[in-house]
Amino acid sequence: MESRDHTWNVGPAGYPAPVPDRPLPDGPIHPGSGRGFNWRKLFAPLGVAALLAVKFAAKLKALLLLLPKIKVFSTSATMLVSIAAYSLIWGWKFAVGFVVLLFVHEMGHVIQLRREGIEASAPMFIPFLGAVVWAKSLGDNAAAEARVGLAGPILGSLGAAALIPIANATGNDLFTALAFTGFFLNLFNLLPVVPLDGGRAMAALSPWMWFVGFAGLVALVFVFPNPIILLIVLFGAMESWRRWKGRNSPEAKEYYRVSPRDRLLVAAVYMALVALLTFGMAETHIERDFGDV
């Protein structure tokens, strides 16, 4: 009887499977084929995307630090650029309303920063990334940081709610859709992870919640792949790591020392915002009819 030599590997269920001398044809994996699942093909694109996102985040951070020094990038100019960019997706009417809602949200932060005695810039808009406000600090302690963080969703929620009577008076679903979008954006910002507003609130409640929020964001990257969420994850990871390294310093311990009264107030406002924004989204949600597409 003619004998043939084979090289063996471990096949399905622990049984040896011969490795043929010729390349395996493309096709589905099946028992006994000797073909394993190619994890490299699955994770390689994610690794490349993460590397590109890190490089982009570094360049974006440098740009953000430079923008306040360039006077041409005023609030009105960046608003117009953002409106033009969003118009390409939603049309100019919705784009105008969307940017105004972002402006109202950011002005909540500006007003509270100045109430805390901190000089703050006017909002600057970055297309597809939202808007930012520059300040030297967020307050003297975690309670002040929480107040600054929650001020944005509070004013932003009021701005979105103000669109409901306009929608009822005009019968125009555009205002209802904008109200829903405003509620959603403010609710998303309450996720308990820095640099989002919810992470600022958690500074006064339980900084350990940052890890819960961070895990939730990482899950969103896989469930709803989105470059914006990926950037938030990267910024959140860097900020969380920075705070974690300095958590045991005397300055950090003093910063996170919050009175029970302030802690209770922050918790009450945070939970009330989450409940009201969820209710607002439910009340302004419009079912879309795509017909027989």
Tens of pLDDT, residues 261-282? 999 999 999 999 999 999 999 9
29 in a structural domain: no
Band the pLDDT of 26: cuts 50, 70, 90.
very low
Residue 76 in this model has a pLDDT that exceeds 90? no
Tally of structural domains, the chain: 1
Q: Residue 47: what pLDDT?
A: 55
Residue 212 CB coordination number (10 Å): 14
Q: Residue 223: what pLDDT?
A: 80
Record the tokens describing residue 104, joined without a space.
């109202």
Q: Pick 185 or 234 by higher pLDDT.
A: 185
Average pLDDT over residues 23-39: 43
Residue 240 in this model has a pLDDT that exceeds 70? yes
Residue 103 CB coordination number (10 Å): 19
87 in a structural domain: yes
Residue 119 in this model has a pLDDT that exceeds 50? yes
Helix 92-115 with 142-161: angle, nearest 10 deg = 150
Average pLDDT over residues 110-131: 88
pLDDT tens digits for 177-229? 999 999 999 999 998 888 889 999 998 888 778 888 888 888 887 887 777 77
Range of the structural domain that residue 165 is part of: 66-284
55 in a structural domain: no
Q: Pick 87 or 131 by higher pLDDT.
A: 87
Q: Residue 187: what pLDDT?
A: 93
18 in a structural domain: no
186 in a structural domain: yes
pTM over 0.85: no
Among candidates 236, 184, 186, 242, which has minimal Cα distance to 213? 236
157 in a structural domain: yes
10 in a structural domain: no
Rounded CA gap, 37 and 28, in Å?
A: 10
Band the pLDDT of 36: cuts 50, 70, 90.
very low
| Percent over 90 (pLDDT), the chain | 40
46 in a structural domain: no
Average pLDDT over residues 113-131: 87
Distance of CA 83 to the CA centre of its chain: 20
| Percent over 70 (pLDDT), the chain | 73
Average pLDDT over residues 128-141: 84
Average pLDDT over residues 158-175: 95
Q: Residue 28: what pLDDT?
A: 40
CA 192, 196, 198: angle at the middle one, nearest 5? 35
Residue 84 in this model has a pLDDT that exceeds 90? yes
Residue 174 in this model has a pLDDT that exceeds 90? yes
Band the pLDDT of 65: cuts 50, 70, 90.
low
Q: Residue 210: what pLDDT?
A: 81
Band the pLDDT of 27: cuts 50, 70, 90.
very low
Say what the alpha-carbon torsion angle 184, 189, 191, 193 is, to the nearest 10 degrees.
Answer: 160
Q: Pick 291 or 263 by higher pLDDT.
A: 263
